[in-house]
């Protein structure tokens, strides 16, 4: 190990982690060349490919590396939160219709695609370079939306020429789709406000209806990762990098392979930003169809959109010196503090909004970034609850149960493309996200603002 491993967790979480491989992955990341500061893990840590999910690591531009395993297969899997002026009593009588409209308008499930939106080769390349702006330029969103997306909805340096034909083919008809697995679209209510003054700045109030969208770069991002893992295995051998685990294959940041991966990753990240922006347009359309009012009247506005799986160039203070670093966040959320220039002006006094979804049967949280988090974790925090059961184990636990009826008994409407996905995503498959965010709060790497409870859930 070239540095320490630092895990943010409660005593009970650490006891459970001793029984799995995620801590070994924290240690393995600490062996990589050019790592700056500790190898970090957030309290939703669990085993992943290469890096643990919940892993964060920063690398020096001259001596450090970039690793696809530190970003993940679903590049820029992320989450965005919309607020409205609606109160829960206005929407509850229409929940079934609203769930139907969302399920109809936003394709979900494995291999899902939109028959009415198949990109041309030229259009796809523009999406990969422009991200969410490509969608806004077509009248599906606003400049205000772009101001409320991490990096403005576009990562610089994207080069579509570095993507394989297979990656481009997989993305061509999947823009505007939810996908499967843990991706979801959720209508929620603001159940509890922890910090009223912060909530007011974010435009949140008790009983308010909100919408969370959680998805990423679909098959295109998966293929980019798969393609570059093979390239990085050869690069690691070429540059004499000793790997404790082949899944940590990497290349020096200044090498041709390293630069190419970052440019290809940026393409996938921009595809994901555009994907969530398109879904937002169809969410607004669905509310209009069911409630008979336009989106402006409903005030369905974007609070924020954050990346979960990304490697980004950022400036951070390290031992009193401002340094440019490549920060890998794998299943982790950027959480910049009050006053940071990259926080939208309307939130700069309170810090960047941080969106932490839980499981489909319990609750999610809204936090803001803190100065303490910026100092301790390169401005990072958790991205969700974190799995405690594998998908196979969750299916065994769910066998013979009617999950839809269980959720209905809690007042939650479910629409899903595949029953298998529902079984994999039962509440028991995840940590209780309230325990995860309490660790974040107590460690000073995030500040809890509000808790949201699901009303209607759309799954792949």
Domain range 5-459, CATH class = alpha beta
How many residues are recorded in the chain?
Answer: 460
Rounded Cα distance between 317 and 330, Å, is: 21
Rounded Cα distance between 373 and 375, Å, is: 5
- Cα distances from 82 to residues 109, 167, 170, 202, 209, in angstroms, run 22, 30, 28, 11, 9
Residue 315 is a catalytic residue: no
User: What letter would DSSP give residue 110?
Assistant: T
Tell me the helices (H) and strands (E) count for the chain, helix number first.
Answer: 17, 17
Q: Count of CB atoms within 10 A of residue 314's CB?
A: 15
Rounded Cα distance between 73 and 247, Å, is: 12
- Whole-structure pTM value: 0.96
Could you tell me whether strands 78-87 and 208-215 are parallel, antiparallel, or unpaired per DSSP bridges? antiparallel
- Per residue of the chain (460 residues), give pLDDT as tens: 999 999 999 999 999 998 889 999 999 999 999 999 999 999 999 999 999 999 999 999 999 999 999 999 999 999 999 999 999 999 999 999 999 999 999 988 666 665 567 789 999 999 999 999 999 999 999 999 999 999 999 999 999 999 999 999 999 999 999 998 889 999 999 999 999 999 999 999 999 999 999 999 999 999 999 999 999 999 999 999 999 999 999 999 999 999 999 999 999 999 999 999 999 999 999 999 999 998 788 999 999 999 999 999 999 999 999 999 999 999 999 999 999 999 999 999 999 999 999 999 999 999 999 999 999 999 999 999 999 999 999 999 999 999 999 999 999 999 998 888 899 999 999 999 999 999 999 999 999 999 999 999 999 7
- Cα distances from 366 to residues 153, 187, 295, in angstroms, run 20, 15, 23
Q: Can you point out the beta strands (E) in 332-446?
A: 332-334, 353-356, 364-368, 380-382, 413-416
Cβ atoms 58, 247 nearer than 8 A? no
In this prediction, residue 87 carries a pLDDT of: 97
In this prediction, residue 147 carries a pLDDT of: 97
Report domain extents, the chain: 5-459
| DSSP annotation string for 296-354 | HHHT-EEEEEEESEEEEEEEEEETTEEEEEEEEEESEEE-PPTT-TTS-GGGTTT--EE
Coil vs helix vs strand at 334: strand
In this prediction, residue 115 carries a pLDDT of: 56
Cα radius of gyration rounded to whole Å, the chain? 21
Catalytic residue among 183, 214, 308, 383: 383
Which residue has tokens 């940041």?
Answer: 253
């Amino acid at each position: 190990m070239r540095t320490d491993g630092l895990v943010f967790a409660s005593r009970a979480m650490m006891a459970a982690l001793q029984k799995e491989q995620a801590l070994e992955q924290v240690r393995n990341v600490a062996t990589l060349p050019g790592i700056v500061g500790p190898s970090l893990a957030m309290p939703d840590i669990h085993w992943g490919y290469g890096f643990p999910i919940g892993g964060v690591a920063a690398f020096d531009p001259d001596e450090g590396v970039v690793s696809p395993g530190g970003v993940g297969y679903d590049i820029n899997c992320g989450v965005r939160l919309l607020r409205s002026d609606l109160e829960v009593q206005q929407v509850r009588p229409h929940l079934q219709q609203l769930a139907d409209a969302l399920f109809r308008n936003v394709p979900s499930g494995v291999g899902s695609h939109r028959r009415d939106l198949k990109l041309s080769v030229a259009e796809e390349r523009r999406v990969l370079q422009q991200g969410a702006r490509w969608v806004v330029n077509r009248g599906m969103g606003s400049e205000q939306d772009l101001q409320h997306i991490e990096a403005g909805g576009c990562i610089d340096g994207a080069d579509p020429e570095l993507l394989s034909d297979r990656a481009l083919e997989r993305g061509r008809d999947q823009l505007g789709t939810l996908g499967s697995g843990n991706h979801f679209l959720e209508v929620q209510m603001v159940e509890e406000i922890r910090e009223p003054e912060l909530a007011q700045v974010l435009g949140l109030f008790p009983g308010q209806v909100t919408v969370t969208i959680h998805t990423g770069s679909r098959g295109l991002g998966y293929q980019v990762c798969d393609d570059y893992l093979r390239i990085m295995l050869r690069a690691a051998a070429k540059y004499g990098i000793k790997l404790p685990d082949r899944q940590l294959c990497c290349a020096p940041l200044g090498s041709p392979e390293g630069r190419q991966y970052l440019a290809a990753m940026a393409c996938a990240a921009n595809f994901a930003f555009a994907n969530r922006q398109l879904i937002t347009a169809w969410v607004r359309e669905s509310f209009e169809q069911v409630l008979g009012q336009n989106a402006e009247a409903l005030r369905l506005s974007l609070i924020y959109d954050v990346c979960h799986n990304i490697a980004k160039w950022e400036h951070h203070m390290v031992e009193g010196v401002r340094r440019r670093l490549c920060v890998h966040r794998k299943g982790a959320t950027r959480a910049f503090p009050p006053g940071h220039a990259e926080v939208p002006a309307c939130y700069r006094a309170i810090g960047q909004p941080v969106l932490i979804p839980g499981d489909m049967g319990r609750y999610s949280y809204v936090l803001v970034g803190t100065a303490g988090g910026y100092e301790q974790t390169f401005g990072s925090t958790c991205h969700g609850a974190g799995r405690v059961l594998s998908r196979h184990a969750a299916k065994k636990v769910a066998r013979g149960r009617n999950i839809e009826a269980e959720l209905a008994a809690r007042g939650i409407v479910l629409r899903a493309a595949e029953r298998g996905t529902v079984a994999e995503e039962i509440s028991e498959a995840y940590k209780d996200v309230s325990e995860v965010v309490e660790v974040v709060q107590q460690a000073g790497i995030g500040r809890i603002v509000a808790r949201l409870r699901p009303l209607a859930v759309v799954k792949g």
